[in-house]
Amino acid sequence: MINSQPVILNYPVREVSPYINWIYFFHAWGFQPRFAAIANIHGCDACRASWLAAFPEEERAKAAEAMQLFKEANRMLNQLDGKITIQCIFRLCQANADGDNLLIEGITFPLLRQQTPHPDGTPFLCLSDFVRPVSSGIPDTIGLFASSISEETEGFYKDDPYKHLLVQTLTDRLAEAVTEKMHEHVRKEAWGYAPDEALSIPELLIENYQGIRPAVGYPSLPDQSVNFILDELLDMKRIGITLTENGAMHPHASVCGLMLAHPASRYFAVGKIGEDQLEDYARRRGMPVNEMRKFLAANLPK
């Protein structure tokens, strides 16, 4: 079992940008995943021309547009390097599962369990399933994290809508990319449960590593109000993150969540829940049912 104080990591843009998942960047600009493949093409003119020629005639204009966007995005990353701060904070904590709750450093972190039956009869999952139960008498470890891009970027190029949007979409991806880089460091060194991991960045981006990293807002962790619990354990303001009264993070380009190491851990969607679980969750969360209903609106029947 590992227990530590929160650790802050700082990275320049040039160390984080290789970890960008360009599929999501291009998605934000309305491009389908196949156009994001330009990020995997060598920068020489012949390679780019060959990539472009591989598209059907009717898609080449769109592919050329993607190529230009990628070029401008990289130019912007070079301009941002040295100007902005990319920070992560993580903490490895003693934890155990208690039913559908996690007990983290004496603090209850409630979770939701699937309630909609699966066609193949597989079990109803909850993230607590991947943490050793308190009844075992053996403490387990869980990781907590938050990542953010400095708030000043939100004011960059306010008079140029295109460049402003380019910065916004890039900083969103950089916040995810720095989380990917931090998680690699945690697995191999800080937590050290996978010291011999030797994955390429493309392998990292398709999550070929042991464990999962569900962020708040993911389908398995849909309640934004748990940001307040994470903040209590991490003190996110140490990297410039503040929370609104509804638990939304500021700056916008921020992400936080959990790191689980169990070899069988996997992502899943909680999906729709009934009034019984809503009431039970609200009780465990220590909040009124009607207030909890607002946070879990997407998981409740219409």
What value does the mean pLDDT of the chain take? Answer: 95
pLDDT score of 88 more than 80: yes
Q: Is residue 270 part of a domain?
A: no
Confirm if 214 and 127 have CB atoms less than 8 A apart: yes
pLDDT value for 44: 86
Q: Is residue 133 part of a domain?
A: no
pLDDT value for 4: 81
Q: Is residue 232 part of a domain?
A: yes
- Average pLDDT in the 266-295 region? 96
- Average pLDDT in the 8-28 region? 97
Looking only at the bridges linking them, the beta strands covering 242-243 and 101-104 are: unpaired
What band does 232 get if pLDDT is binned at 50, 70 and 90? Answer: very high
Q: Is residue 120 part of a domain?
A: no
Q: CA of 3: how far to CAs of 9, 26, 101, in Å?
A: 18, 39, 19
Tally the domains of the chain.
1
Phi, psi at 266, each rounded to 5°: -155, 160
Which two structure tokens, joined as six digits, stand for 137? 């008498």
Looking only at the bridges linking them, the beta strands covering 7-11 and 86-98 are: antiparallel
Residue that wins the pLDDT comparison between 99 and 42? 99
pLDDT score of 2 more than 80: no
pTM of the full structure: 0.94
pLDDT value for 246: 94
User: How many Å apart are CA 196 and CA 188, to the nearest integer?
Assistant: 7
pLDDT value for 43: 77
User: How many Å apart are CA 108 and CA 287, to the nearest integer?
Assistant: 13
pLDDT score of 168 more than 70: yes
User: How many Å apart are CA 136 and CA 169, to the nearest integer?
Assistant: 45
Q: Is residue 165 part of a domain?
A: yes
User: How many Å apart are CA 11 and CA 182, to the nearest integer?
Assistant: 10
Domain enclosing residue 50, as ranges? 7-88+142-259
Q: CA neighbours within 13 Å on the CB side: how many for 50? A: 8
What band does 118 get if pLDDT is binned at 50, 70 and 90? Answer: confident
Q: Is residue 265 part of a domain?
A: no
Tokens 């934000």 correspond to 28
Query: Among positive and negative, which fits the CA dihedral 70, 72, 78, 84?
Result: negative
* CATH of residue 180: 3.40.109
Share of the chain above pLDDT 70, in %: 99
Which two structure tokens, joined as six digits, stand for 141? 């470890």
- Average pLDDT in the 84-89 region? 94
Across 13-130, where does the E strand assignment appear? 86-98, 101-104, 107-110
What band does 302 get if pLDDT is binned at 50, 70 and 90? Answer: confident
Q: Is residue 297 part of a domain?
A: no
What band does 123 get if pLDDT is binned at 50, 70 and 90? Answer: very high
Q: Is residue 66 part of a domain?
A: yes
pLDDT value for 45: 87
Residue 141, classed as helix, strand or coil, is strand
Using the 8-state DSSP alphabet, how is residue 210 labeled? S
Region of 255 (left: φ > 0; alpha: ψ -120 to 50; beta: rest) is beta
